[in-house]
Structure 1
Amino acid sequence: MNNQHDSALADKLAKAGLSQKEAVIYAFLLERKGAFPSVIAKETGLNRTTVYKILSVLSVKGLITEFEKRKKFFYQAESPKRLEKYAEMQISMAKTAKENLGRIMPILDGLHRSSPDKPVVRFFEGKEGVLAIYNEHAQGEKPYDMLAFSNTIGLLPLLSQEFKENYQKQKAKIGITTRAIVPYTLENSAALKTFYKVLPKRLTPQIKYLPSEEFSFRGDLTLFDENKISIINFNEPHFAGTIIEDRTIYNMIKLFFELAWRNLPEYKRAE
């Protein structure tokens, strides 16, 4: 948008529940007290087809009005109170959806687990997908020993401070202990100390280091919740991950981890 104030307002509206394009057009109409679609397209940089689609969506949401002016359709933003009411309606609908989902969750969970001998494999893409995997690490209901081959340098730039703190607090709440095998670098060593500082001492991870000169990788393989394995690729820009839910595969990879853990010497970086 040409107007910096409009752009800043649009960014805030996008955070309040509108899509970015909806926010741009609503902010424009609010600032300009109305406009024809051709003017909206010119000033916002959106093509006309997109503008008409977004105007239709905003109209259905009750956030703008349409009327004829000089034999052409003219659009104006409704009072911001309408936006507040729309947000309240969305919250109400989300609560209703959650309640309805809660009623059928036992059925869905039964269907999900109905084939115990068949591995469940789920795929995740992008930053949000990777964060979803880490959230699942700390969603269990009972304590367990998390085991990981991990290079945290690829992970930490993805995580906000709030996410890090919530993740560790949830692990502490459940009582999850951690053992990890990590390529040694000064950055990894420092990052791990910072990342886990909020955990109580009894839950502080046990770390064994690999010489990074021989065993370097950018990724993470974690065994969690006693029957799940997550595998994550940290190579930008193609962040991706997989969760495999299968007791047999879990136990087999756990044997490999325990073998490595038992035989891995205390590694000290050569000076």
Structure 2
Amino acid sequence: MTGTPRIDLNADVGESFGSWRMGADEELLPLVSSANVACGFHAGDPSVMRRTLAQCASLGVVVGAHVSYRDLAGFGRRFVDLAPAELEADVQYQLAALRGLAAVEGATVGYVKPHGALLYNAIAHHEAQAAAVVAAVHGVDPSLALLGLPGSRVLALAQDVGLTCVTEAFADRGYRADGTLVPRSEPGAVLHDPGLVADRVVSMVRDGEVLAVTGERLRIGARSVCLHGDTPGAVAMARAVRSALDAAGVRVAPFVGESSVDSGPRG
């Protein structure tokens, strides 16, 4: 790697709902460069969205739309077998809501990140739903970037229509040997040791590799690393990651606004 290495850190935020609280957004947002703001379908509500957007604007954190299936009860983690046209409309509805509130708070939505173990992972291989998400984003604003899993079907389709595609890695999630995430129902799905996670992220950035749960070294080449806001100890983990990156001379900066377009590795 030549020059100063850089990476975007993103976090899932704005996932509280009414009087119910999720995550520690106030502590997490100063540590990241991009924020995936829930759009009301898996979490969040208009007041939470506005408050989160205002915080992002004040900190200079780039906003992404964290779109989901309409699944509040399941936190967006259950597969919903929607007709493509319905999924397309649902994604566009969420985008429109977040962009409208962002305009009120002086923030700008720069990218889209599908949420959930099922929508995010389903569109890695589900052709019809992947195409629906791409059509939704492109229909609202072709300048929006799409954040996704390396080698996923959705990023391949997005690249075909000219969307900016950004590959993502996960700081605290286990990987299978094929590069997919370990399901949350299985052992090793979520990592909890801040020091281990911090060292892992530095290796992702400097070496472009991550260790699978079965011991294989995987090439990932990600431009953004996700820190889950709902993981126990999320703030301590984020601080450890940020400190480790700073110590390694890695610049933390958003991918939105970069001149290059990178759809990531295939296979």
TM-score, normalised via structure 2 length: 0.28
Greater length-normalized contact order (CA 8 Å, ≥ 6 residues apart):
2
Question: Highest CA radius of gyration, 1 or 2?
Answer: 1
TM-score (norm: length of structure 1): 0.28
